[in-house]
Amino acid sequence: MSDPSAPAALSAVSSSRPADLRSRVAVGDIAVGLFHTQGYEATSAAQIAAAAGVSRSTFFRQFHSKDDVIFADHDELLEQIGEYFAAEHDDPWLAVCEAAALVFERFRERLEIVRVRDRVVRQTSVLRDRETVMVSRYEKTFSAYLRRRLPGVDPVLAIQFAAAVTATHNYELRRMIRAAETERMLDSAGLAAHLQAVRTRFAPGGVAAATPASELLVAVFPASALPDDVARAIASRFLSSSVTPSVT
């Protein structure tokens, strides 16, 4: 399972952080590196703890088992989403889309380690099962928020919307992770355009129906602007507001 191309930083231990104070995400990243170079079955929880510079007792306080360790960033993101949903949002449907975009952007920032983890998970059935459970937590979090904030909405619609947002996010996330060419990777604005389509399809009455027909977005770009740049800018504007697009 050794891969000389694996980033050396994945298994390196920083000496600047005292033992037992390393974050759960940092420990998870170290575990990813060990699983990648040694193999999942060949790596023990004790080895992960030693590589991370934490005690065994601390490791098992942080994680139930080595199955959970490499998904620590998901736990952190779900906490952040919970805090985001605790704030007041005028449009709960949009808030769910923005929460999904937050997750996408976090993984863009950590793309190197996320790509290594993806390879490890695809090779390990136990981790694939754990990932499936993790994905369902996002979906349940989204639908629970919508049902809480919009008690008059059909619960089935809230569940369908949450599932569609999660599936769209995950599909585009995998495309980004596995893209061979960086310039072809979807960015946050591209994801925003896809999530806007989900809102239009699932939100009661459609997003456009809730917006005055006279409210238009007029965009002016230099003739030298690339089509992809124009599309991304417009898609980002649509998701961040309730503006109804008008194409002529």
CA distance 153 to 173: 29
CB 244 within 8 A of CB 211: yes
Q: What pLDDT is stored for residue 10 in this prediction? A: 36
CA distance 160 to 153: 12
| Residue bearing the bigger pLDDT, 151 or 221 | 151
Which domains occur in the chain, in start order? Answer: 8-69 (1.10.10), 72-209 (1.10.357)
Q: Which two tokens stand for residue 6?
A: 């694996």
pTM here is: 0.72
Q: What pLDDT is stored for residue 62 in this prediction? A: 87
Q: What pLDDT is stored for residue 65 in this prediction? A: 85
Q: What pLDDT is stored for residue 226 in this prediction? A: 63
The residue to which tokens 């139930």 are assigned: 64
* Of 8-12, 57-61, 100-104, 165-169, minimum mean pLDDT range: 8-12
Mean pLDDT of 148-174: 94
Q: What pLDDT is stored for residue 118 in this prediction? A: 95
CA distance 67 to 129: 10
Q: Which two tokens stand for residue 19?
A: 């033992």
pLDDT tens, position by position, 202-221: 876 554 434 444 445 556 65
Mean pLDDT of 173-201: 81
Q: What pLDDT is stored for residue 182 in this prediction? A: 60
> In this model, does residue 124 exceed pLDDT 50?
yes
- Give the list of residues 6+ apart from residue 222 with CB closer than 8 angstroms, or none: none
CA distance 169 to 159: 15
The fraction of the chain above a pLDDT of 90, given in percent, is 57
Whole-angstrom distance between the N-terminal and C-terminal Cα of the chain? 56
* pLDDT grade for 3, boundaries at 50, 70 and 90: very low
Mean pLDDT of 41-54: 93
* pLDDT grade for 157, boundaries at 50, 70 and 90: very high
CA distance 137 to 58: 25
